[in-house]
Amino acid sequence: MSNELTMSGLKKSYGPVKAVKGVSLALEDGEFVVLVGPTGCGKSTLLRLISGLERPDAGHIYLGGERMNDVPVGRRGIQLVFQSYALWPYMPVFSMRRWSNLAFGPRIRRWLPERIVERVSGVMARVGIEEDLSESYPGQLSSGQQQKVAIGRAIAIPPRVFLLDEPMANIDPVARRKVREELRRVHDELGSTTLLVTHDLNDASLLADRIAVMRDGRILQLDTTDRILSAPADAFVADIFASFDHGQSKFRRKSAPPNP
């Protein structure tokens, strides 16, 4: 089953505000794309359209060739991780005695207990959640630990598409590095297609196979980091990357499709 994600002519307005203005974007099966751009350019709105939390005013969303516009949120195979983590505050990290954050998805789907334990134990190991945190509640965790739980909850049911909205914005530099490494490793292990929103160009260059630059509701360029640096689409893209010290970042080695 292909996890290629394609958007064609997507538009979304909120009253007089045009948040997304005819976005067309294609992510290859298993690709990690990072979306960058100034605050208010439509990045988060685009993620909400893809996930199904918002309906587009026009345009189409396809996953593996299947049109997603009318598919309910829970049936798209798409998981969205918010900047605010959105954890259940009165549920522990993981418990089989009561509802918990990591087991919520599998329990809703009525998985057998032994399957839930096996899956969640694997998820905790994969994203670096210590077992002794299982009975802890979100308010007792650090920001980095909460972010790992949010990511773990999203992959407890392996998604076809993984959407992340500023997942490292509220965590300290040490935790940020660890979470960034886990994000790329989890992506590679799952084989999902990933779209991540960030303002941090260093995070973008370290994580992405390709970077999409957005401004005023439109995608200006989708390309590898080195191609954007050597051939920016316009002055705005060049200005965003002008102060980026690419010598200190290692670029993704995955071959990108040729420029159109």
CB-CB contact of 94 with 148 (8 Å): no
| 84 and 15 belong to one structural domain | no
Residue 109 belongs to some domain of the structure: yes
Residue 46 belongs to some domain of the structure: no
Mean pLDDT value across residues 85-98: 89
Flag whether pLDDT at 141 surpasses 80. Answer: yes
CA distance 112 to 117: 9
- Domain range spanning residue 120? 73-193
CB-CB contact of 35 with 212 (8 Å): yes
Residue 139 belongs to some domain of the structure: yes
| 12 and 91 belong to one structural domain | no
DSSP string, the chain: ----EEEEEEEEEETTEEEEEEEEEEE-TT-EEEEE--TTSSHHHHHHHHHTSS--SEEEEEETTEE-TTS-GGGS-EEEE-TT----TTS-SS-SSS--TTTHHHHHTT--HHHHHHHHHHHHHHHT--GGGTT--GGGS-HHHHHHHHHHHHHSS--SEEEEESTTTTS-HHHHHHHHHHHHHHHHHHT-EEEEE-S-HHHHHHH-SEEEEEETTEEEEEE-HHHHHHS-SSHHHHHHTTT--GGGSPPP-SPPPPP-
Residue 172 sits in a domain whose CATH number is 3.40.50.300
Place of tokens 């918990």: 100
User: End of a domain among 168, 193, 218?
Assistant: 193
Residue 230 belongs to some domain of the structure: no
| 33 and 80 belong to one structural domain | no
Flag whether pLDDT at 254 surpasses 70. Answer: no
- What six digits make up the tokens of 235? 């002055």
CA distance 106 to 51: 19
| 16 and 91 belong to one structural domain | no
Mean pLDDT value across residues 182-190: 84
User: End of a domain among 177, 193, 209?
Assistant: 193
| 32 and 67 belong to one structural domain | yes
Adjacent-strand bridge partners of 173: none
Residue 239 belongs to some domain of the structure: no
Mean pLDDT value across residues 30-35: 96
Residue 5 belongs to some domain of the structure: yes
Flag whether pLDDT at 257 surpasses 80. Answer: no
Residue 231 belongs to some domain of the structure: no
pTM to 2 decimals? 0.84
Flag whether pLDDT at 245 surpasses 80. Answer: no
User: Total structural domains in the chain?
Assistant: 2
